[in-house]
Amino acid sequence: MKIPVILGPTSTGKTSLSIDLCKKLGGQIISADSRQVYKHMDVGTGKIPVAKDVSYEKHDKFWILEGMKVWGYDVVTPDTNFSAYDFAKFGLEKARTAIDIGMIPVITGGTGLYIDFLTGRITDLAGPPDLNLRKKLEQKGLKELQEEVTSLNIELNNSDFHNKYRLVRILERQKNPNPSPPLPYLKNVDYVFMGLTAFRDFLYSRVDSWTDSIWHNDKILKEVQDLINLGYKDSPKLHGLVYENALAHLQGKKSREEAIQRTRFNLHAYVRRQQTYFKRNKGIKWFDIEQDNYVQNLYNYFKSHREA
């Protein structure tokens, strides 16, 4: 069985395209997005495609968008840690259920690590996160972490060796003695990786338009205030990318325009990180979203793989 994987940077229209693909193929979407798994976080995570009126229904662990089931929305609360392993276990179970009822799971998202775990490109079965150990490691400086990694004879590429976050996660896994159970990987399937891309200036303009849309009528501010009222003010999820700037504005630490501009800059950097990550997968067929016929070209590409 051929399973489509639609990936790419934020604001490239992955969800809308996947909805159309599901309608053609008879499928269900598995959302591979590390932010959309959280309940009460809809506006700032882009769960609803912009630039068109989309019908949706909210359910526990899934939504219905335009009549298509999207697994991976509203899985856990913002105070819950949800790792790539957790996502892969969840996503694989939902994919198997879809296949069993004769539907095609369409993997869709911009979180490369989630996609790699689900498709088996990464099979690191380290134990569950040790948050206390992680906190202690995060208090150390880059040089100290590098020395500790070197003492354990762990071989790393230059990029990882100079990335404090990566060093913390690597050391956390090394010190965790409890491996997780094997993931229920799908058998007799081939993943067809299809990426959406464009020149960066075009992607940045899409990101900026989306940022303006979530600040329009204070939608993002209302969502952040609701999250605060629900008791999630100190959740790490409110201190990244989109939410941290809205929170800073509500607290009087940033002007409205400063918060909006910083959100744009954060998302531009996020686009670059996503593109860098996806370069690791040489099997991705890329489609330029600036081309008028890219949707049909992508569909034809997947169709040719199904018929091969």
The structure tokens listed for 48 are 């609803």
CATH code for the domain in which residue 11 is found: 3.40.50.300
Taking residues 164-191, what's their average pLDDT? 82
Strand partners, 69: 64
Domain count, the chain: 2
CB 262 within 8 A of CB 75: no
pLDDT above 90 for 168: no
Taking residues 67-74, what's their average pLDDT? 97
Residues 239 and 280 in one domain: yes
Residues 146 and 31 in one domain: no
Of residues 132 and 7, more confidently modeled: 7
Residues 278 and 257 in one domain: yes
Residues 15 and 105 in one domain: yes
Residues 160 and 230 in one domain: no
**Nearest 5°: phi and psi at 255?**
-70, 165
For 240-253, what is each residue's pLDDT tens digit? Answer: 889 999 999 999 99
Q: Which helix (H) or strand (E) holds 212?
A: helix 200-215
Residues 118 and 135 in one domain: no
Residues 198 and 90 in one domain: yes
Residues 196 and 59 in one domain: yes
Residues 90 and 184 in one domain: yes
pLDDT above 90 for 19: yes
The structure tokens listed for 201 are 């200036």
Range of the domain at 74: 2-123+180-307
Q: What does DSSP assign to residue 284?
A: P
Residues in the chain, total: 308
pLDDT above 80 for 50: no
Confidence label for 103 from pLDDT (cuts 50, 70 and 90): very high
Residues 190 and 114 in one domain: yes
Taking residues 285-308, what's their average pLDDT? 96
Q: How far is 191 from 5, CA to CA, in rounded Å?
A: 7
pLDDT above 80 for 110: yes
Q: How far is 237 from 223, CA to CA, in rounded Å?
A: 13
CB 10 within 8 A of CB 274: yes
The structure tokens listed for 236 are 């790490």
